[in-house]
Amino acid sequence: METDRLLLRPFAAGDLPAYRLLMGQDEVGEQLPRGRGFTAEETDRLAQFWSDHWTQHGYGPFAVVERSSGTLLGHCGLKAVEETGEVELLYALGREHWGEGFATEAARACVAWADMVLDLPWLVGFVKPDNVRSIAVLTRAGFAPADQVHLWGLDLIRYRRPREDQAMPEPSSP
Ligand SMILES: CC(C)(COP(=O)(O)OP(=O)(O)OC[C@H]1O[C@@H](n2cnc3c(N)ncnc32)[C@H](O)[C@@H]1OP(=O)(O)O)[C@@H](O)C(=O)NCCC(=O)NCCS
């Protein structure tokens, strides 16, 4: 899938060296459930997990590549959340690629892809309350805060975005 500046495609074995450098950064990992940069082995397992996720579900996170340079910037895409039965938008870019609008461009493309390909009433995003950069991405991609949840040992804010042609359901009455 292509956007103005990005190519979103499945991860390939050749991405691993660059992906290890990106995911190894503490500034990237500290906002993820792990809370710190990933070791090389953890990044390799993550890439394998993304690949298995695509095989199992028919969707998953894409490798985000800058078209003009071919540089791997990070990942963005969709993940099944077993704990809630929902599908989560997630993303992470190497620190040197923040502040250029790449995450928002990728997030919007993934949301549009989900609207087209997946029959889901809504997508969610889970974010630590102090992750202002991620909250800004979610907001620009059309998500709104829904509630607070405790997941993966963390207190998180759940954001939701209804599919383009759907209204959000009213909270269920008792
Ligand atoms: C979340 C994360 C991807 C957001 O990165 P980001 O760079 O803040 O987000 P974007 O790529 O959308 O860039 C937005 C910024 O680029 C600026 N920008 C520059 N050129 C731009 C352009 N051509 N188009 C759009 N925005 C542009 C925007 O003004 C905005 O600047 P601001 O942050 O000063 O307001 C990044 O912080 C990250 O990887 N964090 C660690 C992992 C993480 O938290 N993941 C989410 C877990 S919930």
141 lines ligand 1 (CB under 6 A): no
- Tell the residue nearest (CA) to atom 32 of ligand 1: 99
Question: What would you measure as the largest C-alpha separation in the chain, in angstroms?
Answer: 55
User: pTM of the full predicted structure?
Assistant: 0.94
Report the C-alpha gap between 128 and 81 in whole angstroms: 16
Q: Is 80 exposed, middle or buried (0-12, 13-18, 19+ CB in 10 A)?
A: middle
- pLDDT tens digits, 116-138: 999 899 999 999 999 999 999 99
Q: Rounded to the nearest whole angstrom, what is the distance from the C-alpha of residue 170 to the centroid of ligand 1?
A: 31
The packing angle between helices 132-140 and 102-117, to 10°, is 50
Query: Is the distance from CB of 89 to CB of 141 less than 8 angstroms?
Result: yes
Domains of the chain as residue ranges with CATH: 6-122 (3.40.630.30)
Q: Is the pLDDT of residue 173 over 50?
A: no
Ligand 1, residue 128: give the atom nearest the CA: 48
Q: Is the pLDDT of residue 113 over 50?
A: yes
159 lines ligand 1 (CB under 6 A): no
156 lines ligand 1 (CB under 6 A): no
102 lines ligand 1 (CB under 6 A): yes
Confidence (pLDDT) at 67: 98
Report the C-alpha gap between 4 and 123 in whole angstroms: 23
Residues shown for the chain: 174
For range 155-163, the mean pLDDT: 96
- pLDDT tens digits, 138-158: 999 999 999 999 999 999 999
28 lines ligand 1 (CB under 6 A): yes
- pLDDT tens digits, 88-107: 999 999 999 999 999 999 99
Query: Is the distance from CB of 38 to CB of 29 less than 8 angstroms?
Result: yes
- pLDDT tens digits, 42-73: 999 999 999 999 999 999 999 999 999 999 99
